[in-house]
Amino acid sequence: MKNKVEILRKERGIKQDELAKALSVSRQTISSLETGKYNPSIMLAYKIAKIFDLTIEEVFIFDED
């Protein structure tokens, strides 16, 4: 699953550790999300979308493969 977390974070001038703190996760989790090495739970995906004031579908791109 691909996502726009890094793009959205950088557009808003938010550091990885700031986003991690807001989501109650580690900075490593944010890094793994951004590189596509980690797929979030539905609850974390919801929280990320909410922080950016977007829908889950606007942040995460679900591949059918």
Summarised one tens digit per residue, pLDDT across range 29-44 is 999 999 999 999 999 9
SS3 (DSSP) at 3: strand
- Reported pTM: 0.91
Q: How far is CA 64 from the centre of its chain?
A: 20
Average pLDDT, the chain: 95
Q: How far apart are CA 21 and CA 23, in angstroms?
A: 5
**CATH number for the segment(s) 2-55:** 1.10.260.40
The torsion angles phi and psi of 61, rounded to 5 degrees, stand at -110, 115
